[in-house]
Amino acid sequence: MKIAILNAISPPLMLLLNWIMPSVAVAAEDCEPALVPATGSYRFVQGQTPQETYPAGTALGEIHFTRLPIFDETNPDENNPLFRWANRFHILTRETMVSQQLLFDSGQTYSSRILEESSRLLRTQGYFYDAEIRPVRYCNERIDVEVITKDNWSFTPNMSIDRSGGENTYSIGLRDSNILGLGKQLTVSSGRDLDRRSSELSYEDNNVLGSRVTNRTTLIDSDDGFMRAFELALPFFFLDSRQSWSVRIEDTERQDEQYFRGDDVSEVKHNIEDFELEYGFSQGLVNSTVKRWGIGYRYRNDQFGLADELPPPLQFPDDKELSYVYFKYEVVQDYFDTAFNLDQIYRTEDIHLGHHLSNRFGIAADAFGSD
């Protein structure tokens, strides 16, 4: 009985296998070889080959991230104790930070223009020495891409001492433009110049909480005052962006001095209040051209008073208050090219060859409270 049942099942099973196996073989033939990740010796744009064309509507498959260290230890010229220590000390930019700069995701329709613009966005980040995105495999009607980044040295200590004209000046500080591989910048410094002694703490974040929102915060404490600045903005981060906005606040107090033959002879106390709010909108990229409109409001108040140590100048400055609405218009043509070793040594540079028009117009009328 078992033999009879097996004989009855075998012909249909063999037909099914004969239909499946050729299909699998054809699919395997259509697939390009498996990904070979880029190595430390990878030559970026200058080693590119023309990209292949793929059928319209082809979807993106897997996105592979290859993060290269600062120095290539497979290169005998860079394989030394100092460079190896630098690679160990430096924290590579995290994969999540790289992915936050991309304009595409798996499953979306493949577009070589979007890949090129994403590469440009990566190269604008100061913590990358170079970056490139390339298609690496076509399989089952999907295109796998590789995102290649090479880190830049980001930790910068600073110390300088100078004496000129009988005056001593100095500066000391630390700056890290890629804290813990998170793409955030922190600067701590202290110094003295001919006008004042000051200490500064500043922080920059181009992806607040993983978004496209940027933040700039600066705190400066001086022996003659202070400066506090805060900015939160959503810029037009790529050509097809539809809106932008920004809020900026600055509060400053300082002493402005006048000099005669190298000696300070008068001074005034100067207080500044500065506020700006802006909103922009666009229809995106249309016929290889982007048109952007914006409207904003700015308020600035400069007040002057008597200082404590030196007399005021003969011509005492007048207080000034500006309050006005302004309009912006910008046109950008999508026409970019890349060059290597042009203005920056052994680095890929993005060159805008198209037209770029930007105009800003505002009226500081009495109706808005301006002097």
- For residue 78, the SS3 value is coil
**Residue at a domain's end among 99, 124, 151:** 151
Same domain, residue pair 213 and 104:
no
- For residue 117, the SS3 value is helix
Smallest CA-to-CA distance from 339 within 27, 46, 17, 7 is with: 46
Query: Residue 20 corresponds to which tokens in the numbers above?
Result: 């499946």
189 in a domain, yes or no?
A: no
Burial class for 199, CB neighbours closer than 10 Å (0-12, 13-18, 19+): middle
110 in a domain, yes or no?
A: yes
Rounded mean pLDDT, 176-201: 93
173-177, 243-247, 304-308, range with the lowest pLDDT: 304-308
How many other β-carbons are positioned within 10 Å of the β-carbon of residue 183?
A: 24
The residues that bridge with 156 in the sheet, in sequence order, are 175
Q: What pLDDT was estimated at residue 44?
A: 82
203 in a domain, yes or no?
A: yes
Q: What is the CATH number of the domain that holds 54?
A: 3.10.20.310
Q: What pLDDT was estimated at residue 48?
A: 53
Q: What pLDDT was estimated at residue 38?
A: 85
344 in a domain, yes or no?
A: yes
Same domain, residue pair 38 and 137:
yes
Instruction: Tell me the per-residue pLDDT of 285-334, one tens digit each, with 9 for 90 and over.
Output: 999 999 999 999 999 999 999 988 889 998 999 999 999 999 999 999 99
Q: What's the rounded Cα separation, in Å, for the pair 305 and 317?
A: 9
9 in a domain, yes or no?
A: no
130 in a domain, yes or no?
A: yes
Smallest CA-to-CA distance from 303 within 273, 267, 277 is with: 273
201 in a domain, yes or no?
A: yes
Same domain, residue pair 136 and 199:
no
**Residue at a domain's end among 118, 151, 184:** 151
Mean pLDDT of the chain: 88
Same domain, residue pair 131 and 48:
yes
Same domain, residue pair 343 and 290:
yes
174 in a domain, yes or no?
A: no
Same domain, residue pair 212 and 284:
yes
Same domain, residue pair 231 and 103:
no
Please write down the HEC assignment for all residues of 293-334: EEEEEEEEEEEEEECCCCCCCCCCCCCEEEEEEEEEEEEEEC
Share of the chain above pLDDT 70, in %: 90
Distances in whole angstroms, Cα of residue 362 to Cα of each of 274, 329, 347 = 16, 12, 40
Instruction: Tell me the per-residue pLDDT of 126-157, one tens digit each, with 9 for 90 and over.
Output: 899 999 999 999 988 899 999 999 999 999 99
Looking at mean pLDDT, say which of 153-162, 240-249, 330-339 comes out highest: 240-249
Question: pLDDT-based confidence at 10, cuts 50/70/90?
Answer: low
Rounded mean pLDDT, 193-212: 92
Domain count, the chain: 2
Q: What pLDDT was estimated at residue 164?
A: 79
Residue 169, pLDDT > 80, answer yes
**Residue at a domain's end among 122, 151, 180:** 151
User: What is the domain extent for residue 105?
Assistant: 29-151
The residues that bridge with 245 in the sheet, in sequence order, are 234, 279
Same domain, residue pair 146 and 210:
no
Same domain, residue pair 200 and 305:
yes
Rounded mean pLDDT, 205-226: 95
Higher-confidence residue of 199 and 4: namely 199
Instruction: Tell me the per-residue pLDDT of 355-366, one tens digit each, with 9 for 90 and over.
Output: 999 999 998 888
Residue 174, pLDDT > 50, answer yes
Q: What pLDDT was estimated at residue 346?
A: 76
3-7, 91-95, 198-202, 311-315, range with the lowest pLDDT: 3-7
Q: What pLDDT was estimated at residue 33?
A: 75
Same domain, residue pair 221 and 332:
yes
Q: What pLDDT was estimated at residue 11?
A: 54
Question: pLDDT-based confidence at 13, cuts 50/70/90?
Answer: very low
Smallest CA-to-CA distance from 173 within 146, 191, 161, 195 is with: 191
Same domain, residue pair 287 and 342:
yes
Same domain, residue pair 103 and 225:
no
